[in-house]
């Protein structure tokens, strides 16, 4: 699996808004990295650049080798309202040309992996917010991507659903070992989940700190209240404060 | 349950009461038959001229249906063209708007001359089509643009072909808009057909509007009412059919479709 290198990444929009100024970072294959920063500092822009949905104004995105298969999870579940959970999850496979039967079979398995066995035929409007987000994650993972990009995926969920999904995400990551770039503006979520936290300054985003979190996995709920957790969270908070302007 | 029953029974009761009052009032105040005929006279017309009125209704229905089908096909096709080419949209949409804002009655004489007086039915069809076409085009165009931008990005991420994006994303996202447009177009096709029959003012089309003009000239007011009632029934039927179609297609993913 390839490493991902961002070098002097910048993006200025046609409107003149400079969203991202100069981001350089190397994300090793299989790492869980969070991107935190104030609203509007270019986090979503960075993810779109990595996914190839947008092109940088300067700098480069380099993978060792070809650009791998990528899964993307938005803040909203972003499901096709007219399609069942299984059809939604099967989408990447069907677009890649897999025939419907085989795609649905794998989609069902993926739904099982995110704890949604039995909901294959449910329509999005019949699912709760947390369940819809699980469908979205299953869809992002169904094609076995090497990298998973997540843009504040749990921001709209309630506290306990969010904690449960955090745990499930870590379990999936440790099982399948894809690279995760996780955008959040919750300091605590970033510390709980990741091995490394990249802190961006206010717009235009610049890297102000690259903080390692050496705590071993699996991390359980009690880890959230440990002194080690607090030490890292303090570092991230201070870096965020320093990056404000 | 009783609530729903009341909603069904009350309008019927009100209708019966109104008809009864109408009959009674016309007799009581001795209203002249050519001002306001009593319901019984209208019913008599249905008995004496029912067959020929129904034939006329059939002619108008045929025009309406053909105009609606034409409007649906051409509106959707043009919207699909607009969705795939901005240039085409920029070039053509002004003409669509001009066609829409020009009163159909004003175009009618020209169209009648163009297709020839012997082909009044064709003139009527073209005019009704012009009236019904625009709501389909406008709604389908809006619908094709209404797809969730994040879903569009997802399709791009997975390297979907334009055809895949069209079939799996744009068409389903546009469906609610398109159906709303078709509902409007169904009503307008009928209105357009009637207006065009009036404007073409020719017996060759033989539609209900022509029968209304004819009856008016002969002061057969009861017959006018009979034709009007048939037109109203046709309008209701079209609306009901399209509402049913909408419910059929959207019930799966639009729990809240109005019925
Ligand atoms: N397509 C775009 N065109 C113009 N400005 C944009 C566009 N996308 C984002 N922006 C602007 O760039 C800045 C950074 O946006 P974003 O990356 O979404 O921030 P974040 O996700 O960190 O909140 C914001 O000011 C936003 O308004
Ligand atoms: Mg964002």
Closest-CA distance, B46 to chain A, in angstroms, reads 47
Q: What is the pLDDT of residue B96?
A: 87
Q: What is the pLDDT of residue B259?
A: 35
Taking the centre of ligand 2 as the mean of its atom positions, its distance from the CA of residue A35, in whole angstroms, is: 11
ipTM of the complex: 0.94
Distances (CA, A) of A104 to A85, A110, A121, A123, B158: 10, 10, 11, 15, 17
Which regions of chain A are under pLDDT 70? Answer: 1-2, 245
Residues 6 or more apart whose CB falls under 8 angstroms from that of B43 comprise none
Give the alpha-carbon dihedral of B20, B23, B26, B32, to 10 degrees: 150
Q: Are A180 and A27 in contact (CB under 8 A)?
A: no
Report chain B residues whose CB lies below 8 A from the CB of A145: none
pLDDT at B200 over 60: yes
CB contact under 8 A, B150 and A76: yes
- Residue B175 with chain A: CB contacts under 8 Å: 82
A13 lines ligand 1 (CB under 6 A): yes
Strands A179-183 and A147-151 turn out to be parallel
State if residue A40 touches ligand 1 by the CB under 6 angstroms criterion. yes
CB pair distance less than 8 Å for B168 and A81 = no
Considering only the beta carbons, identify the residue of A78, A83, A92 that sits closest to B158.
A92
Nearest to B157 among A72, A76, A124 (CB): A72
Contact A22, A201 (CB under 8 A): no
pLDDT of residue B254: 62
Q: In CATH, which superfamily holds the domain spanning B34-258? A: MetI-like (1.10.3720.10)
CA-nearest of B19, B18, B72, B11 to B236 is B11
Inform me whether the pLDDT recorded for B203 exceeds 60: no
Cα–Cα distance for residue pair A37/A25, rounded to 1 Å:
15
| The pLDDT of residue B224 | 94
The domain spans of chain B are: 1-31, 34-258
DSSP-derived secondary structure for A101-136: HHHHHHHHHHHHHTT-TT-TT--GGGS-HHHHHHHH
Residue of A nearest to B253 (CA): A82
Q: What is the DSSP letter of A54?
A: S
Which of A78, A123, A125 minimises the CB distance to B154?
Answer: A78
* Ligand 1 binding pocket includes A174 (Cβ within 6 Å): no
Contact yes or no for A51 and B157 at CB 8 A: yes
Distance A190 CA to ligand 1 centre (A): 21
Cβ atoms of B131 and B191 within 8 Å: the answer is yes
Contact A125 B253 (CB under 8 A): yes
Confidence (pLDDT) at B100: 85
B51-58: long-range contacts at Cβ-Cβ below 8 A with a sequence spacing of 24 or more?
Answer: B53/B208, B53/B211, B53/B223, B53/B226, B53/B227, B53/B230, B54/B230, B55/B206, B56/B206, B56/B207, B56/B208, B56/B210, B56/B211, B56/B227, B57/B208, B57/B230, B57/B231, B57/B234
The verdict on the CB of residue A11 being under 6 Å from ligand 1 is no
List helix spans (H) across B146-207: 149-157, 162-165, 171-200
Q: Which pTM does this prediction carry?
A: 0.86
Residue A245 has what pLDDT? 64
| Residues of B with Cβ-Cβ distance to A91 under 8 angstroms | 154, 158, 168
Q: Is the pLDDT of residue B123 over 80?
A: yes
Domain with residues A4-68+146-243, CATH architecture: 3-Layer(aba) Sandwich (3.40)
Closest C-alpha residue for ligand 1 atom 25: A40
Answer yes or no: is pLDDT of B189 > 80: yes
pLDDT at A2: 67
Q: Where are the domains of chain A?
A: 4-68+146-243, 80-136
Q: What are B214-247's pLDDT values in tens digits? A: 898 899 999 999 999 999 999 999 999 999 999 9
């Amino acid at each position: 699996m390839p490493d991902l290198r961002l070098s002097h990444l910048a993006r200025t929009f046609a409107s003149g808004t400079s969203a991202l100024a100069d981001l350089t970072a190397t994300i090793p294959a299989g790492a869980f990295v969070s991107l935190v920063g104030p609203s509007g500092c270019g986090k979503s822009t960075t993810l779109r650049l990595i996914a190839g949905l947008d092109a940088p104004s300067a700098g480069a995105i380099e993978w060792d080798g070809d650009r791998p298969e990528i899964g993307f999870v938005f803040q909203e579940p972003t499901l096709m309202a007219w399609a069942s959970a299984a059809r939604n999850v099967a989408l990447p496979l069907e677009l890649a040309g897999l025939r419907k039967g085989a795609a649905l079979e794998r989609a069902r398995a993926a739904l099982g992996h995110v704890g949604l066995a039995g909901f294959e035929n449910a329509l999005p409007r019949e699912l709760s917010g947390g369940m819809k987000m699980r469908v979205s994650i299953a869809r992002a993972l169904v094609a076995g991507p090497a990298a998973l990009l997540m843009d504040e995926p749990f921001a709209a969920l309630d506290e306990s659903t969010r904690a449960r999904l955090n745990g499930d995400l870590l379990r999936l990551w440790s099982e399948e070992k894809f690279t995760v770039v996780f955008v959040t503006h919750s300091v605590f979520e970033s510390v709980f989940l990741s091995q490394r936290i990249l802190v961006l300054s206010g717009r235009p985003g610049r890297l102000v700190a690259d903080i390692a979190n050496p705590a071993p996995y699996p991390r359980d709920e009690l880890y959230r209240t440990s002194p080690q957790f607090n030490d890292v969270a303090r570092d991230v908070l201070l870096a965020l404060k320093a990056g404000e302007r | 349950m009783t609530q729903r029953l009341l909603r069904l029974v009350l309008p019927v009761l009100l209708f019966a009461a109104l008809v009864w009052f109408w009959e009674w009032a016309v007799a009581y105040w001795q209203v002249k038959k050519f001002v306001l005929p009593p319901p019984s006279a209208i019913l008599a017309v249905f008995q004496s001229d029912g067959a020929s009125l129904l034939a006329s209704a059939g002619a108008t229905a045929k025009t309406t249906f053909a105009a609606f089908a034409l409007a649906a096909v051409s509106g959707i096709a043009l919207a699909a063209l607009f969705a795939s080419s901005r240039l085409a949209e920029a070039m053509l949409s002004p003409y669509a708007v001009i066609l829409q804002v020009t009163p159909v009655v004003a175009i009618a004489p020209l169209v009648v001359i163009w297709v020839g007086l012997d082909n009044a039915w064709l003139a009527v069809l073209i005019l009704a089509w012009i009236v019904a076409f625009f709501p389909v085009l406008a709604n389908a165009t809006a619908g094709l643009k209404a797809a969730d931008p994040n879903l569009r990005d997802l399709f791009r991420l997975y390297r979907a072909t334009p055809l895949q994006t069209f079939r799996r994303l744009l068409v389903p996202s546009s469906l609610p808009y398109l159906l709303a447009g078709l509902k409007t177009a169904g009503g307008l096709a009928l209105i357009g057909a009637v207006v065009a029959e009036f404007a073409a003012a020719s017996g060759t089309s033989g539609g209900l509007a022509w029968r209304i003009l004819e009856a008016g000239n002969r002061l057969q007011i009861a017959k006018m009412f009979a034709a009007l009632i048939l037109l109203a029934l046709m309008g209701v039927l079209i609306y009901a059919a399209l509402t049913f179609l909408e419910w059929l297609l959207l019930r799966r993913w639009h729990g809240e479709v109005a019925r």
